[in-house]
Chain A
Amino acid sequence: MSVTAESNELRDDVLNGLQLSGQLERVWRTPSGLVGALMSVDHKIVGRRYILTAFAFLLLGGILAMLMRVQLAGPEQTFLSADKYNQIFTMHGSTMMFLFAVPVMEAFAVYLVPLMVGTRNIAFPRLNAFSYWMFLFGGCFLWISFLFNVGPDVGWFSYVPLSSLQFTPTKRADVWAQMITFTEVAALAVAVEIVVTVFKLRAPGMTLDRIPLFVWAMLVTSFLVMFAMPSIMVASTSLILDRLVNTRFYDASSGGHPLLWQHLFWFFGHPEVYIIFIPGTGMASTILATFARRPVIGYPVVILSLIGTGFLSFGLWVHHMFVTGLPQLGAGLFTASSMLIAVPSGLQIFCWLATLWDGRPVYRTPLLFVIGFIVIFVIGGLSGVMVASVPIDTQVHDTYFVVAHFHYVLIGGAVFPLIGAVYYWFPKIAGRMLSERLGRWNFWLAFIGFNVAFFPMHFLGLIGMPRRVYTYTADMDWAHLNLLSSIGAFVFALSFALLLVNVVYSLRKGALAGDNPWNGSTLEWATSSPPPPQNFDRIPVVKHRDPLWADSESLPVIAGLSAERREVLLTSLAEAEPQTREASSEPSIWPLLTAIATTVFFIGSIFTPWAVLWGTPPMAVTLIGWFWPSGSKEDEE
């Protein structure tokens, strides 16, 4: 007994241009109304929500940073109490690392990768929607806890025994640990989606050596997420179990060990830096090629550097633990590997400089941010080589030198290219250009403000100011540099306000963008701005690394996909040869319901272990609803 294959169906090869556009829009559009919006599985809608939510968390984290800088602007300030300061620096770090930096990079990937590889939706669109809801609920949970005065106060690293029940008897550390789980679920889901989208949904002909560099960067990043995040999952689960059901993972009196936490945390935490930085390099490569008006020099070198950085990032975690008394041999090994990672990063920088040198650069706002990124990241990289060395690290560990270093790396390495990316891809997403004039003001305020804010911190660290202190006395002689730093921080914050003004203004009054306003070479510019629900009326065929520059007259495309149901083309892993036409998910409310059930489960388990029992059936029911093919056009026939 067997089941017969599907019957004849309407294909795109029998429709002309306008008919095809209208038909595909009907098939791929998100249902209207509130319920429709909650059901959306369109990667562009989910991506936009992700980006906006991540930037909302950036705003919140930034406000906390300003509060800290007010407190530290002068000696013996009473603007914040020690307790409130602890909460604020914990919330600032946790928000920026878990709710902004990683999610915003994945958010851009959710929006851009399917467009850049020439497909109609991301792989596993319902999982994508679910991941967004989990991220939103996890972030809201953390911030609502903070506003109700149960926000975490033990640092974004939550070291034990500080975060153990003995020293943090309230629910603060539980809130932090569960927030970690939310963001892990979201990040891991997106990572799998990106990997499968890049491996299987690439346009025909997009061989491995024709994949856009941003997509390569996101592929490497996704693998880092998949192999680094399980470590923090085990760590945070063990922490909350220690606190809720008296397990003994970190209890030295019962065979546990506090250093286990640091190993698990930093095995995740150091790759995390590269999870944030590598997408930034992908953005930089893409922007640089467009505005230098030539392909990036050393495409294979850049890819090998990305992969090399990814591998090496797993061999660095112990340099965060040099002062914990580990064996000398281990310290030497991790010093060497920490210094070694400068090599692939340096190679990329040389490739970018060569591209600028050999190109005909047009200095528009996105490129300015990329140049700012190169300058700031090089300074951060150099101080990184310094703290990779045991003798120097021993001196500056837990001082403001380290604060300066990682802000140079993370803001230079990620935020500057990210803002460049906002200027670069805003026309595609919104259909309008951002103001160039405001953009230039934005860049210079950001560049000057950033350096004034963070460069003095190197000196503060060298003259002994420890990090995580809420105040200092006047006789320490740290006041002038701190005041300068605070002024710089406010200028830096002003640059973000200007970006917000630019976005709001340009959404209404910005010049219409057209399909390809920058003359970009990658496939997202081959469709309209903003793209239609189906992304492309016909799937492009890629014959060159820069398809829109090579095939500027006429884009080769394929025909033969279904025009009456959601269908994507799957291609082979290496050569991107067409293999199958596979169904793509219809809109569904179940990912949202599953996320709600999962949220109830996680939050309930903070208060009672029994939540694991009563929280599981709703999750199971919603998951069955999600996977049950009811509503699928193919199954309704």
Chain B
Amino acid sequence: MRQTIVRNVAELPTYGYGPRSGPWWGAMGFMALEGMGFAIAVGTYLYLYAIDPNWPIGAAPPDLWPGTTEAVVYLLSIIPNEITNRAAYRQDLAKVRTGLVVMSLIGIALLVLRGFEFAHLNTRWDNSAYGSIVWLILGLHTTHLATDVGDTVVLAVLMFTRHAKPRRFSDVTDNVFYWNFVVLAWLPLYALLDWVPRL
């Protein structure tokens, strides 16, 4: 079939930020399906809660301090996360490096805190359906957190190597975007796990 060139796109950039970038949409897709996973897990919790009048079943509610500390750290982490985001848009490599190291450390700190939270749930996974669902929800979010921390650490290492190409800054903004989802996902889960058993 004969072809007619009607436009030249040579001048277009080789990467984009936010909705102009493919990986951003990929992150959106994974957020949608992971968000649905959390929603289903929350639905499971509420279903079990609805059919059992003695909630939490045979256990004290979780101790508040680990989850609350985490919630505070998550909320505060938005500040360095946003600073990293702006530095990435400016393609300021030094600040991006600093930002990614800080965010990696915050992620690792949250994983340590998460260990304390499991220890202070005041129930085991095999005590009752209540224990099972709180361990499952916390486990799901921990997997979510750990994979994002892993991604942040790898990206940080990349930015200290020769692979710190311009398009990598777009990856940094996607990582920032995804972290905001990790934070957003945590807040309703925190309310569910730590406060609903106290109602």
Which residues of A does B touch, CB under 8 Å?
A: 1-6, 11, 13, 123-124, 188, 191-192, 195-196, 199-201, 204, 226-227, 229-231, 233-234, 237-238, 241-242, 245-249, 251, 254-257, 260, 263-264, 267, 515, 526, 538, 541, 548, 553-561, 567, 569-570, 573, 578-583, 620, 623-624, 627-629, 634-635
Say yes or no: B166 contacts A3, CB within 8 Å.
Answer: yes
Q: Is B150 an interface residue (CB 8 A)?
A: yes
A2-B93, A123-B26 as given contacts; A538 in contact with B5, CB under 8 Å: yes
A260 to B, closest residue via Cβ: B47
A515-B30 Cα distance, complex, nearest whole Å? 37
Q: Is B1 an interface residue (CB 8 A)?
A: yes
Choose among B33, B36, B44, B165 the residue that contacts A3 (Cβ–Cβ < 8 A).
B165
Q: Is B78 an interface residue (CB 8 A)?
A: no
11 other contacts beyond A247-B135, A559-B10, A634-B14, with CB at 8 A cut-off? A192-B30, A249-B44, A548-B1, A557-B4, A559-B9, A560-B8, A560-B12, A570-B22, A579-B20, A582-B16, A628-B154
Choose among A123, A192, A234, A570 the residue that contacts B44 (Cβ–Cβ < 8 A).
A234
Main SS of chain A's interface residues?
Answer: mixed
B135 to A, closest residue via Cβ: A247
A13-B10, A573-B19 as given contacts; A124 in contact with B3, CB under 8 Å: no
Kindly list chain B residues whose C-beta atoms are within 8 Å of the C-beta of A548.
1
Say yes or no: B25 contacts A195, CB within 8 Å.
Answer: yes
Kindly list chain B residues whose C-beta atoms are within 8 Å of the C-beta of A561.
9-10
Selected A-B contacts with CB under 8 Å, 13 pairs: A2-B93, A191-B29, A199-B25, A227-B32, A234-B41, A248-B128, A249-B136, A254-B128, A255-B48, A255-B129, A569-B9, A570-B20, A582-B14
Choose among A555, A582, A628 the residue that contacts B21 (Cβ–Cβ < 8 A).
A582
Say yes or no: A583 contacts B167, CB within 8 Å.
Answer: yes
Say yes or no: A555 contacts B4, CB within 8 Å.
Answer: yes
Say yes or no: A558 contacts B91, CB within 8 Å.
Answer: no
B130-168 interface bits toward A, Cβ cutoff 8 Å, 1 = contact, 0 = none: 111101100000000000001100100010001111111
Q: Which of A226, A553, A582 has the most CB of B within 10 A?
A: A582
Say yes or no: B154 contacts A238, CB within 8 Å.
Answer: no
Say yes or no: B166 contacts A6, CB within 8 Å.
Answer: yes
Say yes or no: B33 contacts A227, CB within 8 Å.
Answer: yes
A247-B125, A257-B51, A558-B9 as given contacts; A515 in contact with B21, CB under 8 Å: no
A6-B14, A230-B37, A238-B136 as given contacts; A255 in contact with B52, CB under 8 Å: yes
B52 to A, closest residue via Cβ: A255
Say yes or no: A248 contacts B166, CB within 8 Å.
Answer: no
Say yes or no: A247 contacts B136, CB within 8 Å.
Answer: yes
Q: Is B65 an interface residue (CB 8 A)?
A: no
Say yes or no: B1 contacts A627, CB within 8 Å.
Answer: no
10 nearest A-B residue pairs (beta carbon): A560-B10, A255-B129, A192-B29, A247-B132, A230-B37, A256-B129, A246-B126, A560-B9, A580-B16, A560-B8
Distance from B37 Cβ to chain A, minimum over Cβ atoms (Å): 4
Kindly list chain B residues whose C-beta atoms are within 8 Å of the C-beta of A201.
22
A3-B164, A559-B10 as given contacts; A255 in contact with B130, CB under 8 Å: yes
B33-52 interface bits toward A, Cβ cutoff 8 Å, 1 = contact, 0 = none: 11011011100100110011
Kindly list chain B residues whose C-beta atoms are within 8 Å of the C-beta of A247.
125-126, 131-132, 135-136
Say yes or no: A256 contacts B48, CB within 8 Å.
Answer: yes
Distance from B128 Cβ to chain A, minimum over Cβ atoms (Å): 5
Say yes or no: A226 contacts B36, CB within 8 Å.
Answer: yes
- Name the interface size band of chain B: 35 or more
Say yes or no: A554 contacts B2, CB within 8 Å.
Answer: yes
Choose among B10, B25, B41, B94 the residue that contacts A1 (Cβ–Cβ < 8 A).
B94
A249-B127 Cα distance, complex, nearest whole Å? 11
Which residues of B does A touch, CB under 8 Å?
A: 1-16, 19-22, 25-26, 29-30, 32-34, 36-37, 39-41, 44, 47-48, 51-52, 57, 90-94, 125-133, 135-136, 150-151, 154, 158, 162-169
Distance from A308 Cβ to chain B, minimum over Cβ atoms (Å): 20
A573-B19, A581-B13 as given contacts; A260 in contact with B44, CB under 8 Å: yes
A242-B133 Cα distance, complex, nearest whole Å? 11
Kindly list chain A residues whose C-beta atoms are within 8 Å of the C-beta of B26.
123-124, 192, 196
Kindly list chain B residues whose C-beta atoms are within 8 Å of the C-beta of A556.
3-6
Say yes or no: B167 contacts A554, CB within 8 Å.
Answer: no
Kindly list chain A residues whose C-beta atoms are within 8 Å of the C-beta of B7.
204, 541, 558-560, 578
Say yes or no: A580 contacts B14, CB within 8 Å.
Answer: yes
Choose among B2, B9, B130, B165 the residue that contacts A635 (Cβ–Cβ < 8 A).
B165
Kindly list chain B residues whose C-beta atoms are within 8 Å of the C-beta of A264.
40, 44
Choose among B32, B125, B167 the residue that contacts A634 (Cβ–Cβ < 8 A).
B167
Distance from A469 Cβ to chain B, minimum over Cβ atoms (Å): 32
Say yes or no: B12 contacts A13, CB within 8 Å.
Answer: no
Distance from B46 Cβ to chain A, minimum over Cβ atoms (Å): 11
Choose among A11, A248, A624 the residue that contacts B126 (Cβ–Cβ < 8 A).
A248
A3-B158 Cα distance, complex, nearest whole Å? 13
A553-B3 Cα distance, complex, nearest whole Å? 9
Choose among B22, B30, B48, B169 the residue that contacts A123 (Cβ–Cβ < 8 A).
B22
A226-B32, A558-B9 as given contacts; A553 in contact with B167, CB under 8 Å: no
A557-B92 Cα distance, complex, nearest whole Å? 37
Q: Which of A234, A238, A264 has the most CB of B within 10 A?
A: A234
